[in-house]
Amino acid sequence: MSLRPLTDAWRSATSRLIIIYGALFAIWCVMLLGVVQWEASRYLSNVVDQMLVARIHYLENTDTHRLPATVEAASEIDIQGYMWVGLFDAQGRRVAGNIASVPKQLTEDGVVQSVNATLDSPGRKLDGARARAITRVLPGGERLVVAKESTTIDSLGAIIRRGALWGLTLTLIPGLLGGVLIARGPARRIRAIQQAMEPIREGDLSVRLPVSRSGDEVDLLAATVNTTLTEIERLLGEVKGVTDNIAHDLRTPLTRMRTRLYRLQQQFEGRPEGEQLEACVAEIDTVLGRFRALLRVSELEDRQRSACFASMDLGAVLQNVHEFYAPLAEDRGQSFELTVGKLPPLRGDPQLMFEAFANLVGNAIKFTPNGGAVRLVASTDANGGARVDIADTGPGIPPDEREAVFRRFYRADETRAKPGCGLGLAIVSAIVRLHGYSMSVGGDERGAVFSVSCPAA
C-alpha cells in the first residue's frame, strides 16, 4: 500500500485551520457589526423620540386658538418632509398638518411608537410609510400627532451593512490568500518527508527524513524519526550480521562433515551402515541448502545489486522459465501454458527475475497434482505496467496464511510433507522488493494465483 500523495492543498491541517479561523473571524465580525448597527439604531431612535416628545410638548402648550396655524406652520417648516405633524378633531377628521389620518396602531398612552402613517403634503404623498410617532389628547378632545419618518435610521442600517460586507470581503480574501501561501511551505515539507518515506517503507533504512533549519515541530518530528531509524538500522544490522555469521561459520564445518560422511558411505556401500550414512548426508545437504538460502536472502536484501539494473525483456525471461520447467510438468502429466502479451519496457536483472519466477513456477508444479494445470500469463495492467500471474490447480492458500507465506521458514500445515526449507518465497519476495515491484496472493480452494506487478521503466 503506497502512501497517499498530498496533492490537495485543502486537505492539509494548516489549510483546514485557516478555513476554520476565517469562518470564526467572519462570524465574529458579523456579530460585532450587528451589535454596532443595533446600538447606532437604538441611539438614533432615542434622539428621534426625544425630538418628538419635545415637539409635541411645545405644541400641546400652544394656545388653542393659535394651535391649527402653528401645526400648519410646523408641517411647512420641514422642507424634506421627514417631520410630520397633524391635528385632528374628536371624530378623527384632519384639522391641520400633513398627516392624512391618525395611524391605527398609535395608542393614546403618550409613548413614542413605531407605526405606518399616511403622509399627505404638497408635492409629497406617502402611504404606509414607517415612522416613529406620538399622540396626545388635548383638553377639548382634539388629538395631536407628531411623527418622524424612519428613513434615516433605516439608511444608517443599510450603510452599516454595506460597509460590513465590504470590510469583511476585503479582510477575508487577502487573509485566505495569505493563509494558502503560508500553508504551501509546510505542505512542501510534508511532501518531501512523504517522498523520503517511500524507500524507507520499501526497506531501505539508510534513508533519512529532511530536516530544515527552522527547528519547528516538523523538524523535531523528523529528527526523532531519524534517530529511531538509526537505532532500528543498527539493531537489524546486528541481527542480520549474527544470522549471516552463523550461516557462514556453520557451513564450513558442515561441509567438512558431509565430505567425511560421504567417504564413509562409499566404504560401506551396499551395507546397512551405508544406508544410514546416506541418510545423514541427505540431512546435511538439507541444512546446507537452508544456509545457502539464508545467505541468498541476505544478499538480496542488501539492495546494492539494484545499481546494476538495465533494460530487461520480461517476455524472454518468462520464455526461459517455461522452457526450463516444461519437461518437469510434462513428466507429471500437467499442462503448462505460457501466454505473453505486449509488455512495457522494464528495468531490472534478468537473472534475478528468472530466479524469482522459476521459484514460483516450481512451487506451482510441486503443489499441483498430476494431471493438473499451471498457467504463466503476462500482460499490461491498467496503469501501463506489466503484470505476471502464476496460477495452478493445487490446494490453494487460505486467506489467513497469504501474508505469512513470504516469511522465512514459514510452511503451511498442508505443505510440510513436501520437500523444501520454507525460504523459496522469502527469496522471491526479496527479489521483487529489490526491483521495486509488488506481489500478491489470491485464488481459492481450486488453486493459488501469485501475481507480480512491475511498474514500467
* CA gap 124, 81 in Å, rounded: 8
Do 337 and 288 fall within a single domain?
Answer: no
Is residue 209 a part of any domain in this protein? no
**Order of strands, sheet of 447-454, starting from the edge strand that comes earlier in the sequence:** 335-340, 373-380, 386-392, 447-454, 438-444
Q: Could you tell me if 223 and 263 lie in one domain?
A: yes
pLDDT above 70 (res 13): no
3-state secondary structure 191-244: HHHHHHHHHHHCCCCCCCCCCCCCCCHHHHHHHHHHHHHHHHHHHHHHHHHHHH
The amino acid at 31:
M
The mean per-residue pLDDT over the stretch 256-277 comes to 81
The gap between the terminal CA atoms of the chain, to the nearest Å, is 20
Neighbours of 392 (CB within 10 A): 27
Residue 271, pLDDT score: 80
pLDDT, tens digit, 9 for 90 and up, residues 90-100: 888 888 888 87
Q: 289 and 182 in one domain?
A: no
Asked if pLDDT for residue 410 goes beyond 70, the answer is no
63, 102: one domain: yes
Domain assignment present for residue 349? The answer is: yes
Is residue 171 domain-shared with residue 240, that is, in the same domain?
no
340 and 262 together in one domain:
no
Has residue 18 got a pLDDT over 80?
Answer: no
**Considering 281, 301, 321, which residue would you say is the last residue of a domain?**
301
H or E, element range at 38: helix 13-60
Do residues 344 and 456 make contact, with C-beta atoms less than 8 angstroms apart? yes
186-220 as b/e: b if 16+ CB within 10 A: bbebeeebeebeeebeeeebebbbebeeeeeebbe
| Claim to verify: residue 396 and residue 439 sit in the same structural domain | yes
Residue 206: inside a domain, yes or no? Answer: no
CATH code at position 111: 3.30.450.20
Q: What local confidence, expressed as pLDDT, does residue 391 receive? A: 92
Contact present, 85 and 52 (Cβ < 8 Å): no
pLDDT, the chain, mean: 79
Considering 252, 268, 301, which residue would you say is the last residue of a domain? 301
pLDDT (tens digit per residue) in 93-124? 888 888 878 887 787 777 888 877 665 554 55
The predicted structure's pLDDT at residue 5: 47
**How many whole angstroms separate alpha carbon 66 and alpha carbon 50?**
24
Percent of the chain with pLDDT strictly greater than 90: 11
Counted domains in the chain: 3
Q: Does residue 10 lie in a domain region?
A: yes
Whether 267 and 337 share a structural domain: no
Write down the H helix ranges in 124-216.
151-201
**Structural domain for 34, as ranges:** 1-197
pLDDT over 70, % of the chain: 80
3 within 8 A of 191, measured Cβ to Cβ? no
Minimum mean pLDDT among 43-57, 85-99, 291-305, 343-357: which range? 291-305
Same domain, residue pair 101 and 25: yes
Residue 251 falls within a domain, yes or no?
Answer: yes
Distance of alpha carbon 41 from alpha carbon 160, whole angstroms? 10
Q: Specify if 204 maps to a domain.
A: no
Pairwise CA distance, residues 22 & 176, whole Å: 7
Segment 379-384 mean pLDDT? 87
CA angle at 313 for the pair 375 and 195, rounded to the nearest 5°: 100
The verdict on residue 205 lying in a domain is no
pTM: 0.48
CATH of the domain at 285: 1.10.287
- Domain for residue 203, yes or no? no
pLDDT at 388: 93
**pLDDT 10s digits, 138-189:** 888 888 888 887 766 677 777 877 877 787 777 777 777 776 676 666 777 7
Report the CATH number at residue 339.
Answer: 3.30.565.10
- One domain for residues 5 and 143: yes
Q: Do 14 and 161 belong together in one domain?
A: yes
Q: What is the pLDDT at residue 44?
A: 81
Q: Of 301, 329, 363, which marks where a domain is finished? A: 301
- What pLDDT was estimated at residue 1? 43
Indicate if 288 and 170 belong to the same structural domain.
no
CA distance linking residue 196 with residue 95, whole number of Å: 92
| Separation CA 422–CA 289 (nearest Å) | 11
